[in-house]
Structure 1
């Protein structure tokens, strides 16, 4: 039987190597509380947040159409809350089960691999530092 040779592996980061959906939800709750005095309810999240853009979410939170600068400001503030929550929760903020072993396997077998992510650069730098990603990845190519 012919052995398969892989050309490489491309990982998404959030939700694949790092299960962080809960952290993002909690960061939005906290941001909502800071902005309007009340956290998102589960119902509000389902109706006004899930599957929506940041612009849509900010529009709901402030009750009017935001300009691009305000959306970016709100997004950056929410992401800062998210990063702080991650930094404060060392016990639960870890790579997904089996990820370390698989990444070690890829390195030991010279199988090229990288991360493709839509995360902002500030978050990528945070993840590199928080998880020591330079052990497995050429971080200049993330």
Structure 2
């Protein structure tokens, strides 16, 4: 392992509940939808614009309208989550040890820069991250491998030498499509939801897990 690529939401911070509530508020209360919480959760992958199309169909919104809705959703999420903003247990130590070992690190996320900056600067961890690939940097979202392939290219590391940390099946699938192994944080989805994938090395609740710790010893 020469490089680590982290997904962000649900992987470095345990915030997916807050994203779910923000989307549920926008989709149902602002836009007149009638979606269950489970429907919202299952569609929370990829870019915000893609989620809106999945939920309401092609052509319902203009690009400008989706931009505005996307930013409003993230503002509501950040306002609600800010008091709880913290890294998953053990991650601060993991980042420090990986950094000291010379392991390159990147973020490969479907989040917009507005949200990535919220975490990197809010938690003062930008110093550990050499590369950021956001929703704005790719044309096709996970499970397409573009996010992780681009991160590996920017790090100048072959895909097979990168390890991905993820929390959702579509993200782990994107890692598989990029020829990368993955470790899954079980903050958001159950283990059996990943059963169709063969690139997963380990499941853990957080970074205090002994297997994860062993990666940077």
So what's the TM-score if we normalise by structure 2? 0.50
Compare the two structures and name the one with the higher strand fraction. Answer: 2
Using the alignment, how far apart are the partners of 1:94 and 1:67 within structure 2?
35
Pairwise CA RMSD of aligned residues?
2.6
Compare the two structures and name the one with the higher helix fraction. Answer: 1
TM-aligned CA deviation for residue 32 of structure 1 = 4.6
Question: Larger C-alpha radius of gyration, 1 or 2?
Answer: 1
TM-aligned CA distance change 1:48 to 1:22, over 3 Å: closer
Structure 2 partner of 1:76: 71
Q: Which ranges in structure 2 are unaligned for 5 or more consecutive residues?
A: 45-50, 133-217
Number of paired residues? 125
- Out of 9, 17, 23, the position equivalent to 1:28 is 23
TM-aligned CA deviation for residue 134 of structure 1 = 2.2
Q: How does 1:35-54 map to 2 (within 5 A)?
A: 35=30, 44-47=36-39, 50-51=42-43, 53-54=51-52
- Out of 54, 57, 60, the position equivalent to 1:56 is 54
Using the alignment, how far apart are the partners of 1:134 and 1:29 within structure 2?
30
TM-aligned CA distance change 1:47 to 1:116, over 3 Å: closer
Using the alignment, how far apart are the partners of 1:12 and 1:131 within structure 2?
16
The answer to whether the aligner puts 1:86 opposite 2:81 as a matched pair is yes
Structure 2 partner of 1:114: 106
So what's the TM-score if we normalise by structure 1? 0.72
Structure 1 partner of 2:93: 101
Spell out structure 1 runs of 4+ moving beyond 4 A: none
Q: Which ranges in structure 1 are unaligned for 5 or more consecutive residues?
A: 1-5
Is residue 10–residue 113 contact of structure 1 (8 Å, CA) maintained in 2?
A: yes
Structure 1 partner of 2:10: 15
